[in-house]
Amino acid sequence: MKTSADPRTLAYFGINGRLSTLDEKIRQQIIIHRTVHYDIGGYPSSSSNNVARKFHQFKLAVLDADVWNSCYSITRTAHSRFKIPLNADDSTTCTLPLTGPHAHIIQEAKLIIWDEAVMCGKYNFQTVDRALRDIMGAVDERLQDVPFGSKVVVFGGDFRQILPVVRKGTRSEVVRQSIRQATFWDQIQVLHLTQNMRIPNLGPEATAFAQKLLSIGNGDHQYNETVEIPEEWLMDSTDVTALIDMVYPSIRSPESHLTHYDGRAILAPKNINVDDINNLAYSIFPGEGRSYISNDKIIDSDDPEGASATYPVEFLHSIATSGVPRDELQLKVGMPIILLRNLDPDRGLCNGTKLFVTALYDHIIGVRRIDQGYDGDEYFLPRINMYTTEGEYPFILCRRQFPVRAAFAMTINKAQGQTLSTVGIYLDEPVFAHSQLYVALSRATDSANIKVALNLSNQRDNTIPKTNNAVYREALLPSVT
């Protein structure tokens, strides 16, 4: 394999106006086997997915684990494909063998597309870089000195969207985890695509909406700190039932079709908001419910027995943390749920896959993928062990539960990468992290199908209702014309 003496990493952040140029540049780099890396970004769009499909015959497509969903049927999550450790740092490497089928897939790949890369922390990329150098170095030792083992890599993303999540991190700590702070960033050439694929019919109203989204995402001028919510979007956050009925108008009907739940969601900034909305929607959804209580225990403690005495089971059950289901899981046949773990990527059962419940048993639950409907394969999910992250508590909690949660509502972060026909945004409290408002609003394909529920009691009389807009301008790419 021929490698470049001065490997330049190219990249794209934008949308679709230059997609043909992007296609051609990628093909050129594959033909000459040159180490180049592209980033695709700009608008929230399906451009990266389009590129993946164009190169399906010789590509390896992955994306951040937090945003996998059914529209990416040709992809795997990056953590699943590359075996990235959960707590990657500047010295970790992937748990990939240097030989065997898994390594062979990577060695044969001509192109790697990593979508939603902006949401992923820099150490994940650097860990994969080290792993690919080792795997390709087993074929040709010279490739150990070439970024990503001389693979053509396309990073897709939009810096107006969610940045890496840093638990209890400051603004500067979050920005420092960005891919722009990765060791290879100076080798990346950024190219911008320019068409919003989520809003395909750009008439005057759609064009104005798309431009407004960009201004909100950039924190421009009047959108720097707050955003006015137009009257046609406005709802009162104290009436959550009305918001549920708006997004799911047939929720009370036992005959409601699956398409009623596909492409619709209520979004909120915090998990506690999501849980409250899901619990209310569950109570409205028809049918007999069933509750499943988790088995919680403490592990990885200096004194597990003493810790168990200090932290009774009631306290362990009360622990609610991101990525781990609640202690009590309430389910009904037919209701939409979302998968929280990678169970069978080859069948599309990945973190973020939307499912619906088909059967409820003592030790397993039956599910089908919403995008495949009633004719899709039925899968049976067991309870599995899930763990809190190191440093989150004075111990590691092991919770044995079904790896799902209700999907009437989800966090704004979880919705990144999805395209929705109807969006309800619950902002009883305003957004708190970079670009959450932009991401929430930009999930919609039509501005007429957006509702924003604000706490109107906090609004001043005789003024247009507003909500906060958080934008870390130092995290954005330089603007382009």
All residues at 6 or more sequence positions from 246 whose CB lies less than 8 Å from its CB, including other chains: 235, 422, 424, 451
Whether 385 and 275 map to the same domain: the answer is no
Sign of CA dihedral 83, 167, 436, 322: positive
- Count of structural domains within the chain: 3
Which element (helix H / strand E) includes 113? strand 111-115
Nearest to 196 by CA among 16, 38, 419, 448: 16
Whether 79 and 211 map to the same domain: the answer is no
- What span, in angstroms and rounded, lies between the C-alpha atoms of 52 and 156? 10
For residue 169, how many other CB atoms are within 10 A of its CB? 15
- What confidence score (pLDDT) does residue 259 get? 77
- What confidence score (pLDDT) does residue 200 get? 58
Whether 380 and 245 map to the same domain: the answer is no
Whether 364 and 335 map to the same domain: the answer is yes
107: its two tokens: 């060695």
- What confidence score (pLDDT) does residue 458 get? 77
Whether 50 and 119 map to the same domain: the answer is yes
Cβ proximity of 461 and 434 under 8 Å: no
Structure confidence by residue, pLDDT tens digits, 400-424: 999 999 999 999 999 988 889 999 9
- What confidence score (pLDDT) does residue 437 get? 97
- Is 1 inside a domain boundary? no
Whether 158 and 67 map to the same domain: the answer is yes
- Is 112 inside a domain boundary? yes
Of 377, 404, 431, at which residue does a domain stop? 404
- Is 421 inside a domain boundary? yes
All residues at 6 or more sequence positions from 376 whose CB lies less than 8 Å from its CB, including other chains: 368, 369
Q: What are phi and psi of 270, to 5 degrees?
A: -120, 150
- What confidence score (pLDDT) does residue 15 get? 34
- What confidence score (pLDDT) does residue 418 get? 87
Of 127, 159, 191, at which residue does a domain stop? 191
| Cα–Cα distances in angstroms (integers) from residue 315 to residues 48, 139, 298, in the given order | 44, 52, 11
379: its two tokens: 């899968």
CA 111 to chain centre: 22
Whether 65 and 29 map to the same domain: the answer is yes
Of 156, 191, 226, at which residue does a domain stop? 191
- Is 265 inside a domain boundary? yes
CATH of the domain at 89: 3.40.50.300
- Is 95 inside a domain boundary? yes
Whether 388 and 458 map to the same domain: the answer is no
Structure confidence by residue, pLDDT tens digits, 189-213: 777 776 666 565 567 888 889 889 9
Which residues span the domain enclosing 105?
9-191
Q: Mean pLDDT in runs of 10 for the chain (481 residues)?
A: 34 44 64 48 51 52 55 65 90 92 89 89 96 95 92 88 92 96 88 64 80 92 91 94 96 81 94 96 96 92 64 92 92 96 88 94 97 91 93 90 97 90 96 96 93 87 85 86 44
Whether 212 and 331 map to the same domain: the answer is no
- Is 380 inside a domain boundary? yes
- Is 3 inside a domain boundary? no
Whether 116 and 185 map to the same domain: the answer is yes
- Is 467 inside a domain boundary? yes
Whether 154 and 227 map to the same domain: the answer is no
Which element (helix H / strand E) includes 25? helix 19-32
Whether 350 and 478 map to the same domain: the answer is no
